[in-house]
Amino acid sequence: MNTPEHNNSDSHSASITRRRFIAGTSASVLGFTVLKPGLLRGAEANSRINIGLIGCGNRGKWVADLFQKHGGYNFVAVADYFQDHADEAGETLKVPAANRYTGLSAYHRLLEQKLDAVVIESPPYFHPEQAAAAIDAGKHVYLAKPIAVDVPGCETIARSGEKATANKLCFLVDFQTRANKLYQQAVKAVHDGELGKIVSAEANYQCGDTWGHMDQLLRKDPKNPEVRLRAWGVDRALSGDVITEQNIHALDVACWMLDAAPIRAYGTGDRARDYLGNCWDHFAVIFWYPNDVVLSFNSHQSGYGYDDIMCRLYGLKGTADTHYFGNVMVKATDFHLDGNVGALYGDGVITNIATFYNSVTQGECSNPTVPASVRSNLTTILGRTAAYKQGVVTWEEMMHKKEKLTPDLKGLKA
Ligand SMILES: NC(=O)c1ccc[n+]([C@@H]2O[C@H](COP(=O)([O-])OP(=O)(O)OC[C@H]3O[C@@H](n4cnc5c(N)ncnc54)[C@H](O)[C@@H]3O)[C@@H](O)[C@H]2O)c1
């Protein structure tokens, strides 16, 4: 199965060769000639960025390998709730045992170390508190999507992004689509008016079973708090549910193209598979955007046979059509674009890692991915809230209510 959450196989990472990494990285970066003294906190000019990994699971290990292949980073510490995960990543990244931290507060001890930046790849619920602590500690942040599971979490990230910019720190949210030239060209064409007046839009995230392994794990010992943490993908409060945790890839592109947040949404959905936990596996939401633009969104995460992450915009002069695993097209009366995104899952991350390096070393701290990610993350939360209600919810109501998702962390070690 092909999903951006389940593609981090060894074969994938093995296929990301040094040559392809170099293609996504500027020569000056590889030559370490661009560093300006003073921009790297705690690091000497002309040296590598000292970095720590928070969350040493599948994605964390895979992304850390790409950071290493970049050549401009040096892992000095790792943090994970579980010792086995911290040790596995620590061995691979050659982080001494003394610098491997565990427990819910592991990230605090990691942040006390001499490092310039952190990569956060923990379950989504923890992202706001970990990113905020990192920015407060003066570290640059590279963060996995989704940025948060609820409105207060999104607001925390928004504040951390502003604080980062004010304090000359870089904060990058890792959406692969945003790093891709074809997506960028299509979005620019839309913003330049090539489609004419936008009338409507569609976004879809269709895939098969994603968290079956977590369901199986949870069934063995459902009351054990550590097992519940390992199985975070089937827990609403830890993951944000499928629409936020996974479908955000499609809704982020929609918000980017429409360059707006929705005004209100009507939603529905349910659970078809018999997983433990409380997540749904299909959603259908109608979002109303400014200027009477209607976006219909549909997703499923079950069954077999059809995978796609797409967003399509219909305008009076043309159509834009984007597919994470396929082509990005714009077919308009005066504009044409059609190209295959290739191995976006890996290439997008490689580009983001190179961008993060350039931003840190050149002091480019405008951090444009943060507000964009806050907006699309809130859009997923609006859709989720409407779907749970099986009714209409406005953006204003959602922002006013500030509903908080609180996982049961009782019994976990600090
Ligand atoms: N295409 C993409 O952008 C993409 C793909 C896959 C995953 N992701 C994101 O990456 C993140 C991690 O996903 P994953 O697939 O690696 O999950 P995972 O379960 O494999 O890894 C999560 C790790 O975090 C650890 N952890 C749990 N609580 C923690 C805490 N409080 N502090 C530190 N570590 C903690 C877990 O023990 C585990 O090692 C998620 O946000 C997910 O949405 C993004």
**Ligand 1, atom 14: nearest CA belongs to which residue?**
59
pLDDT in tens, 202-221: 999 999 999 999 999 999 99
Q: What is the mean pLDDT of residues 268-277?
A: 95
- CB 111 less than 6 A from any atom of ligand 1: no
Q: Is 321 in the pocket of ligand 1 (CB under 6 A)?
A: no
In tens, the pLDDT along 321-355 reads: 999 999 999 999 999 999 999 999 999 999 999 99
Please, are residues 115 and 109 in contact by the beta-carbon 8 Å criterion? no
Question: Tens digit of pLDDT for each residue in 156-180?
Answer: 999 999 999 999 999 999 999 999 9
- Whether pLDDT at 409 is above 90: yes
Closest Cα to atom 38 of ligand 1: 57
What pLDDT, on a 0 to 100 scale, did the predictor assign at position 47? 76
For residue 232, the ligand 1 atom closest to its alpha carbon is 19
Tell how far the Cα of 319 is from the centroid of ligand 1, in angstroms. 35
Contact call for residues 328 and 182 (beta carbons, < 8 A): yes
C-alpha 123 – ligand 1 centre gap (Å)? 4
Domains of the chain: 4-176 (3.40.50.720), 178-362+370-401 (3.30.360.10)
Cβ neighbourhood burial of 371 (10 Å; 0-12, 13-18, 19+): middle
Report the relative pairing of strands 140-144 and 117-120 from DSSP bridges: parallel
Pocket test for ligand 1, best of 62, 84, 121 (most atoms within 8 A of CB): 121
Mutate to test the pocket of ligand 1, among 9, 122, 230, 234 (most ligand atoms within 8 A of CB): 122
pLDDT in tens, 38-55: 455 444 445 799 999 999
- Per-residue confidence at 15, pLDDT binned at 50, 70, 90? very low
Residue 126 near ligand 1, beta carbon < 6 Å: yes
With beta carbons less than 8 A apart as the criterion, state whether 293 and 262 touch: no
Q: What share of the chain is helix, strand, coil (3-state, %, to 5)?
A: 45, 20, 35
- CB-facing half-sphere around the CA of 383: CA atoms within 13 A: 37
For 78-90, the pLDDT digits (tens) are 999 999 999 999 9
pLDDT reported for residue 38: 41
Closest ligand 1 atom to 54 CA: 33
Helices (H) and strands (E) in the chain, counts: 17, 15
pLDDT at 3: 66
Range 387-409 average pLDDT: 98
| Residue among 323, 385, 336 at smallest CA distance from 195 | 336
- pLDDT tens, position by position, 17-36: 322 333 333 333 332 223 34
Q: What value does the CA radius of gyration of the chain take, rounded to a whole number of Å?
A: 21
On the question of pLDDT at 406 being above 60, the answer is yes
Ligand 1 contact via 55 beta carbon (within 6 Å): yes
- What percent of the chain is modeled with pLDDT above 70? 89
Which helix (H) or strand (E) segment is 226 a member of?
Answer: helix 225-230
CA distance 256 to 324: 14
User: So what's the pLDDT on residue 26?
Assistant: 34
**Residue 80 CB–ligand 1 contact under 6 Å:** yes
